[in-house]
Every structure is written in C-alpha cells, then in structure tokens.
Amino acid sequence: MSSIIQLLPDHVANQIAAGEVVQRPASVVKELLENAVDAKATDIKLIIKDAGKSLIQVIDNGIGMSITDSRLCFERHATSKIRKAEDLFLLHTKGFRGEALASIAAIAHVELKTKQDQDELGTHIIIEGSKFISQEPTVLPKGTSFTVKNLFFNIPARRNFLKSETVELRHIIDEFQRVALAHPNIYFTMYHNGGEHFNLPQANLRQRIVSVFAGKTNEKLVPVQEDTEIVTINGFVGKPEFSKRNRGEQFFFVNDRYIKSGYLHHAVMAAYEGLLAVGSQPTYYLYLKVPPNSIDINIHPTKTEIKFDDEHALYAILRSAIKHSLGQFSVAPVLDFDRDPNLDTPYEYKNATANYPKVEVDQSYNPFYNEKQNQNTSANSSYRKLENNSNWESLYVGLKQDTEEIAKFSFENDECTASLFDEKEEEQTKNRTYQIHKKYIVSPIKSGMVIMDQSRAHQRILYEKFLTNMTVRQASSQQLLFPLELHFSQNDLELISDLKTSLENTGFVFEPSKNSTILISGIPVNTTESEISIVLDQLVSDLNDGIPESSFSQNDSIAKSMAKSLAVKTGTYLTEGAQENLVNNLFACKEPNVSPFQKPTFITMRVEDIDKKFAL
C-alpha cells in the first residue's frame, strides 16, 4: 500500500505560508519597512503604484547584506534575529520568524538590490514565484532596495478578493504611520503613483505625531510620563473636547512595536471616566517600555497582540498616569489641598485693632410733635372725599339704556357658526401623541395604539430624504456666513474626496482647500454647523472598512451614516408638534416599518391585546 502523507514542495509550502503572512499589499509594506528598521536605516523610502498591486518598493540606507545573506534571506525560516528558542523572549527587533521574504517571493516578482558599506559591489537578485531568475554583482549605494511587482500574479483568486484601490491604499497608509510613529529618529517618505504622500524628517515624538496627522494635532496633545520598575510610559493623550466617534488615532507601542490591546484601551477609557460624551473615543499615542522577558509577542501571526506577565499592575499604572496628566494640565478637576495665599490677612492689617461702630441718639426727637396737625389734615381730606362723592348717582344715569342697545346690536350682527367637530371628536383630537421616557411616542389609532421608537423613526425619514436628494440631485443647501474649516488626517481626506460628489448631492458645498483641511461653505438644510463635524466623523468611521464600488451603494452608505448621525437621539424631549410631525412623516415614507438598518420602527397594540392583559 502506497504512502498517503507526503512532504509538500517548497514553492507550495511558501504559497500556503503566504496566505497567513501576506493578506494584502499592506502586509508586504509592513514586513519590508520593519526589515529596513532592523537594518539600522536612518532614511527609508516607500514607493507605491496602484495601491501596491503593481509595485511596492522600499529603499533604505541600512547595513545591507552580503552575497550569501541576500540569497539565504528568501529561504523558509531563515532569520538573523534569533539563534535559539530562548531568544524569543529577549527580542529587540521587529520580524524574527523568517517566513516573510520567502512568502512574498512565492506570490510576486521580487527584485533585491543590496550592498554593505565595506563591499565594493552589491548584489542584484531577481525571483519570480520562488524561482531564482538571476543573481549578479552590480554597482549600488550602501543599503537595500526591495521591489515587489505584480502581487498575487500566480494566485488570481486571491488577487480578485482585494478591495478597491482607495481601501488598499488606506491600509498601506495605516501600516506606514505605525512604523513612522514608532521611530521618529528615522526619515520616512512615501510616494503613491508619483505623488508625495508623506515627508517625515527626523524629529522628536511630538513633532512626528503632528507631521503625520497635521491639522490642529499639536493643541490636542497632553503629555503623559511615568517611570516605574514595571513599565516606563511616555507619549500623549488627546484632550476630551477633541474626542471623536471613531477609534482612528489610538496607538499603543510596546518596545517600539505597534500592538492592539483591548485591556489597555479599557484602562485609558477608565482614566477619561466622566470627561467624555457617550460614544466618544479619545485619541492617544502611548509608548510603553517593559523588560523583553516579561512579554510574549509570539502569540499572533502579525505580532500585533502581546501577552503581559502582570497585566493588572500595568492597567493600574497606565490609568493613574493618564489621570495625573489630565489633572496636571487642568484638563480634569483635581483635589488641591494647598493653602490659597489670597485668603490670608494683608500684612498691613495683621496687627491692627478693629474699629467698633458708634451709636448716636437724637435726644430732641419727639414723635408726637406733629400728631395734632396730622389729625386736622386727615379730617379735611375726609370732608373733601364726601363732598366729591355726593353726586355719585349721576354717574350711572342712562347707563342701562346704552347697555341694552349695545347688547341688541351685537346679537343682531353676530352669526352663530357651527363647530367643525363634535365635542367628542374635539376631545379626541387633543393630545394625539404622548412621549414616554423621552424614547417612545405613543399615538392612539382605531384598533388600539402605535408605539414608535423616535430615533429609528427619524432615521428612516432622514434616510429616504437623503437618498432621494442624491438620486434626483436637487438637494438644497444653506450657505454659511463664514466657511467652516475642518481638519482630518490624510487617510480621512482620501476617503472624503472620493465621496465628494455624493456629499454635494446631499447639500454640502465644498471650497478649494489645502493641506489637511476641508472648507465647507454650504451645509444641508435643517442641519446645524456644529453637527457637520459629527456627521463627517461618523461617515469616515462607518466607511472605514471600504467604499462600495457602485454609485448607488455609495449613496446608500452615505444616506445611512448621515441619518444615524442627524437623527433625534434617545433621551431628547419632543414637543407635541414635533411628535405629530414625526408620526406623519414616518407613515409618509415608502417603507415605514423598518429603520435603514432593518430594525422595527414601531409596534401596534390592539385593544383586544390590552384586554387580555387585564383578564389574567
């Protein structure tokens, strides 16, 4: 009987490993940038074409590789970072598994140019799908250049699963930003389709953050500094008034490695307790230094998750450090037990005696001196009143006759108009709607009553309104006296620019802008200026996973996001007129039964159902 289990060929094993290492072009960018950092480079360039589908090139001025190393680096499990198993717990570098370059070479056309400082000539290697095409010496500057072309050329099914160019570029920018923020001492530049996206010279940590996110980032930052035996914390957190709806600008770095940690994020949120609105997220850029033997970074393929030895102590230190920084810079109230010098007694009055008030009495005062004169005056005034009121009956002569004529005239000319409704109907038309707990609206109907969720109902109304405006392209705008200036990161600007046409169909009017700002001179009708930032932040957050390709899907996504942002929220008091208007507009919609997110907007209760409740 023949054997069933067989060893896979190297190129097949590399393609399988590539499915775990290389998920999209951003994965290649991450691995190549980290290798350049480990090579002790001080200048790194990233060149992208077609969001990495056609070209990904990383050029650095690091230490380079020898002829032997340049060939071995494409072998599986070949690495310069570790020698034995114990080294996994003493890592100071980025990549260490030795699968990245082998996996990339298995699914793309790779070109490597590298040279060490002491060598006269460098090495030029070309690989296509794990096959070595050529290797030759050439004249090169010090450093390494990796060029990856035609990603997934031999796995077309995997290439078809890639998102649009905008989405893939956004993932690449995310990886680039993470590496750039972790190493402010390195000069980073990024180019896409010939245009410069980032130019980040060497700087301190605060300058690097401002350079990456631009805008008014500098005024948002509150420094955080804490040094303990367990962890050293350094970085910045954002002021509460600059919080956002999405979790975009939130970064944890442990030993200069970007990580994701829900546990540490909870510690940050606990430090902001009572300072943030419901649903808001703070920005933070926190750098943690811990002993390498106290963490395990080999628990996730992308090494973005880390296991800590003492998570509870780390949680408490991080939370208290952020609380202290927010209080120290007067962002949050703090308890101050210091004596206020303003309450002290002034020096010149310290030993002075008090001046007691003096009481003076007028001994010549006689309260009964004018009593007799006052009595005579009151008698005279009473006499005048009686004299003036003696003819009081003459004031009413002819009054009865005039009253009868006026009454007769009014009855003859007034017409009695019948009421439009009976008394019972008039009573029913009053208080047609009721609001319960500032969340539900109750309206009676013939068969019983309707209970409506005010937030979901308003979402449906706004959703159909925005969708109609974008389809017909006849949206109305209200012009602003002064253009509204909003600041966004490069990622968000790319997203908003792709949706600019659809947003204009809802009522937005954009002005030409520069750098990382957006100028808005017109906004949709019935929208306040203060809501625009919330609407755009929510839109960016909702579309963070990808922009739909078709225009209808884009319009649908924008209408849903704007309806969710602008709809009346639970806990908002509505007047009777607003309640009735909401009810009438909902049942005028094409699909009043469900919200844009397919949740019921109202329920009905019949009188029979209510009777059954009382019959129990």
Ranges of the chain with pLDDT below 50: 87, 96, 336-337, 382-383, 385-387, 409-423, 425-427, 429
Cβ atoms of residues 238 and 220 within 8 Å:
yes
Measured CA angle at 561 (ends 559, 564), to 5 deg: 105
Q: What pLDDT, on a 0 to 100 scale, did the predictor assign at position 248?
A: 73
Q: What pLDDT, on a 0 to 100 scale, did the predictor assign at position 2?
A: 62
DSSP label at 547?
-
- Supply the pTM of this predicted model: 0.69
Question: How far does Cα 144 stand from its chain's mean position?
Answer: 38
- Token couple for 32: 């190549």
- Token couple for 568: 């009346």
Judging by DSSP bridges, how do beta strands 55-60 and 448-453 pair with one another? Answer: unpaired
Other CB atoms within 10 A of residue 66 CB:
15
Cβ atoms of residues 103 and 18 within 8 Å:
yes
- Token couple for 83: 């020698």
C-alpha 451/C-alpha 601 separation (Å) is 9
Q: Give the up-direction half-sphere exposure of residue 500: CA atoms within 13 A in the CB hemisphere.
A: 13
Q: What pLDDT, on a 0 to 100 scale, did the predictor assign at position 177?
A: 92
> Which of 33, 26, 34, 31 is CA-nearest to residue 53?
26
Tell me phi and psi for residue 424, to 5 degrees.
Answer: -65, -40
Q: Count the residues in the chain.
A: 616
Tell me phi and psi for residue 284, to 5 degrees.
Answer: -155, 150
Question: What element of type H or E holds 260?
Answer: none
- How does pLDDT run across 208-264, given as a tens digit for each residue? 999 888 767 888 899 999 999 889 999 999 988 888 877 778 999 998 889 888 889
C-alpha 9/C-alpha 606 separation (Å) is 71
Residues 6+ apart with CB under 8 A from 275: 240, 326, 331, 332
Q: What pLDDT, on a 0 to 100 scale, did the predictor assign at position 426?
A: 46
- Token couple for 601: 């907007």
Query: DSSP H helical segments within 1-41, as ranges?
Result: 10-21, 25-38
C-alpha 507/C-alpha 477 separation (Å) is 5
- How does pLDDT run across 290-326, given as a tens digit for each residue? 888 877 766 555 567 777 888 888 999 999 999 999 8
Residues 6+ apart with CB under 8 A from 104: 18, 21, 22, 28, 31, 110, 148
- CB-based burial, 404-431: b 16+ in 10 Å, e otherwise: eeeeeeeeeeeeeeeeeeeeeeeeeeee
How far is it between the farthest Cα atoms of the chain? 145
C-alpha 356/C-alpha 373 separation (Å) is 40
